[in-house]
């Protein structure tokens, strides 16, 4: 086989002994030009597997579509606790106390500050209760609305009906809170104190439950 360059710089091939095509012996430069697109299409027609689309990577195919989450905007309104069933928190502190005889009956009075430790306002409708050997004589049930960290003072007057029956263990004070059309009761402890050490409304470090200390004082004196 003899290979000779054509005048356009491309390489042509002529095989001796072959029969020329009908219509004359055409030179390479006389043949029609073929575009790259035509060559690609012809290759795809002969072998379709060469022209299959390239699949996306596994990571891209497995990536889930990101859908923006819906955002609920609460309606404007008064500041209220987010959940009516959430625990309510208060701090109770005694600021003063006294004992007395009233009509022959032993009584003691204790002043209690209630502080709102919740994130929203609450409405109190009273505190205190009756118990073994104790009868609550005062009943201040006027509504008191407290914003966060605010406090209100209540005066509790108890009559001791049986000195031996008064509870000697911790006895939390019920705090009644208005909620909707009803009430919710939260029992809050009041730190123990020694009435003899209370000066200027400060509690001592004694651990005597408050009701036992107060009843013990009035029963001992009278």
What is the model's pLDDT at position 217? 92
pLDDT at residue 13 above 50? Answer: no
Mean pLDDT of 193-209: 59
pTM of the model: 0.59
Taken in order of first residue, the domains within the chain and their CATH numbers are 90-221 (2.60.40)
Q: What is the dihedral of CA 38, 41, 42, 43, to 10 degrees?
A: 120
For every residue of 151-216, DSSP letters joined together read EEEEEEEEEES-GGGS--S--PEEEEEEETTEEEEEEE-B----GGG--TT---S----HHHHHHH
Q: Give residue 32's pLDDT band: very low, low, confident or very high (50, 70, 90).
A: low
- Judged by average pLDDT, the poorest of 54-58, 99-103, 128-132, 158-162 is 54-58
pLDDT at residue 10 above 90? Answer: no
């Amino acid at each position: 086989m003899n290979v000779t360059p054509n005048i356009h710089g491309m390489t042509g091939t002529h095989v001796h002994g072959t029969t020329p095509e009908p219509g004359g012996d055409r030179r390479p430069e006389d043949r029609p030009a073929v575009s790259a697109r035509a060559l690609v299409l012809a290759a795809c027609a002969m072998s379709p597997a060469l022209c299959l689309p390239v699949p996306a990577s596994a990571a891209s195919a497995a990536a889930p579509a990101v859908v923006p989450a819906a955002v609920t905007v609460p309606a404007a309104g008064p500041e209220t606790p987010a959940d009516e069933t959430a625990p309510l928190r208060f701090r109770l502190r005694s600021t003063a106390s006294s004992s007395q005889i009233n009509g022959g009956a032993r009584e003691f009075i204790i002043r209690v500050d209630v502080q709102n430790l919740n994130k929203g306002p609450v409405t109190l409708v009273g505190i205190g209760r009756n118990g073994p050997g104790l009868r609550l004589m005062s009943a201040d049930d006027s509504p008191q609305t407290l914003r966060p960290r605010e406090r209100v003072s209540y005066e509790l007057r108890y009559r001791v009906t049986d000195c031996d029956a008064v509870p000697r263990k911790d006895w939390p004070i019920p705090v009644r809170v208005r909620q909707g059309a009803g009430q919710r009761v939260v029992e809050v402890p009041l730190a123990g104190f020694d009435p003899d050490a209370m000066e200027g409304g400060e509690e001592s470090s004694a651990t005597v439950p408050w009701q036992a200390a107060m009843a013990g004082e009035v029963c001992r004196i009278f």
